[in-house]
Amino acid sequence: MMNALFEAYPGLCGRIPYIALGDFPTPVQRLERLEEALAGNDSPPTLYVKRDDLSGKPYGGNKVRKLEFLLGRALEDGRKTLMTFGGAGSNHALATAIYAKQVGLQSISMLVPQPNAHSVRRNLLMSLRVGAELHQRGGMASLVPASLLQLLRHALKEGKRPQVIPPGGTSPTGMIGFVSAGLELKRQIEAGELPAPDCVYAASGTMGTVVGLLLGLKAAGLATRVVAVRVTDPKFTSMRKARRLFDATANLLHAADPDFPVIPFPEADFELRHDYYGTQYALYTQEGIEAVNRMRETDGVKLEGTYTGKTLAALLGDLEAGRLRGQTVLFWDTFNSQDFRNEIEGMDYHRLPRAFHRYFEEEVQSLDRP
């Protein structure tokens, strides 16, 4: 099926670099058993989940949508190598490495430490499996000069500087993927797969997913609110940043096709939630893990503790507080649920750079233990 953005705005075809990578549209599933568990509430909400965890193979999640445009740009520009950034177990860095390899590009991951978890181990081994070049530094102060050094090294070696992809793939180019997601949802509403949601809950890391989705929903003419649940350090999340990203992405699309509207930032339809973050990025919270377990036990949907668990916890907290009575609520699942354990079974972590060995030799955080 044609990408929803190009179907809605055919004038963008050929003007916005793009390469198809994912399996779209992703399904919408009604959370019937979770609704039943809440049936005692007065005017219970209607609950759905958008299954972006199934967005691609061998790796799903929210990054696939962004990479269709980011890798499309890299290929059009004749790049050979990409560089991106994240925590040691970054889903974004892994997704970039996997899909870069699929289209014939090399990926460099510049990483910083994060709390240990089984997912960190899996992502590091899978990154090694697909040939990513992995580097870890102690923090941003040392990561910046190390990144500049790697850019120079690869530019001298390859004759062209690697394409830099920001953390989380959050740039106007990457965010186009979630503008398309908002238009995709409008098609599913029109097809009767769900009613127009009153609100969408989604994790906010570097904000590209939630702000791109907001722009797509408004371009689609939907009144749906976006509830963005912060899961990263406060410096990455603010209304000022949301407004800047929204305007830059809308202006990019309007410049490519004047039929795409220049939409004022709809502040009333965008809510930033800061109360479910916990104390540190990638450090699980009790309420987040309880939400992960509840979703698995009721409707069989797999989540995790860093992003989607905290986001669902916010949704459930609002349900219990009575803020969502009678509403249609959509939970946007940004997790990758594709199982790649067979791909990494038996791999020796000692093949990783030494800086990463500690994730395999030290205990995982307490809420990630059996």
Size (the chain), residues: 370
Q: Same topology for domains 4-62+171-332 and 63-169, yes or no?
A: yes
Instruction: Report the mean per-residue pLDDT for the chain.
Output: 97
Domain range annotation of the chain: 4-62+171-332, 63-169
Record: fold of 63-169: Rossmann fold (3.40.50)
- Quick one: pLDDT at residue 2? 83
Strands 199-204 and 28-30: unpaired
**CATH node for 4-62+171-332:** 3.40.50.1100
DSSP 101-153: HHTT-EEEEEEE-----HHHHHHHHHHHHTT-EEEE-SSHHHHHHHHHHHHHH
The amino acid sitting at 167 is P
pLDDT in tens, 154-200: 999 999 999 999 999 999 999 999 999 999 999 999 999 999 999 99
pTM, two decimals, is: 0.97
- Quick one: pLDDT at residue 1? 72
Given a cut of 90, whether residue 140 has pLDDT beyond it is no
- Quick one: pLDDT at residue 41? 63
- Residues 174 and 49: their CA atoms lie apart, in Å, by 23
pLDDT in tens, 307-355: 999 999 999 999 999 999 999 999 999 999 999 999 999 999 999 999 9
Residue in 129, 136, 162 with CA at minimum distance from that of residue 59: 129
Given a cut of 80, whether residue 43 has pLDDT beyond it is no
Res. 39 pLDDT band, cuts 50 70 90 = confident
